[in-house]
Amino acid sequence: MIVKLFSRINYKYLFFVIFLTVVLLGCVTERFQFPPCPFSEFIGFCCPMCGSTRAWRVLLDSGDIAQALRFNPIFWLWSFWCTVAYLDVWCRTFKLEHPSLGEKLIVYLSRHQALLHSHLLISFITLVYLNLPSVVYWRESLN
């Protein structure tokens, strides 16, 4: 039984998924922080994901949904896709299903173009919103 379990493990993904889990737990428990966003550092304006980590921290610490939405109004959407990717790596590690969860979602989105286009439109609107002068001023005042 144990030999059968170890024969199913894809060790190429196992070390990555363990590392990713440690990093995520460290960030949620505030043991260490994410590095600065390279998009913001090099290009000079916020990407559509900017503020998602702070939004989750505010939501987990105080439960203030309004404050979390001010940091990034679509942090829940990014969280969904990051969770799907995380679960997909776990599925690939233990070879739980084929095609994997991520592949199934990609096929679904390719068949439902309106859903894919709405995600892109929402991301673009968020990109514009996060770079409005009033929002940038508010975010800088928090630092």
Per-residue pLDDT of the chain (143 residues; tens, 9 = 90+): 555 555 667 777 788 888 888 877 776 666 666 677 778 888 888 888 888 878 888 888 888 888 888 888 888 888 888 888 888 887 777 777 667 777 787 788 788 888 888 888 998 998 888 888 877 777 677 65
Q: How far from chain centre, in Å, is Cα 100?
A: 18
Distance CA 43, CA 58 (A): 26
Tell me the backbone φ, ψ of residue 99, rounded to 5 degrees. -70, 160
Query: Residue 5: its pLDDT value, please?
Result: 55
The sign of the dihedral angle between the CA atoms of 108, 113, 115, 119 is: positive
74 burial type by CB count under 10 A (0-12 exposed, 13-18 middle, 19+ buried)? buried
Prediction pTM value: 0.68
pLDDT tens per residue across span 102-137: 778 778 878 888 888 888 899 899 888 888 887 777
CB 58 within 8 A of CB 70: no
Residue with tokens 């630092």: 143
Residue 37 gets which letter from DSSP?
P
User: pLDDT at position 32, please?
Assistant: 67
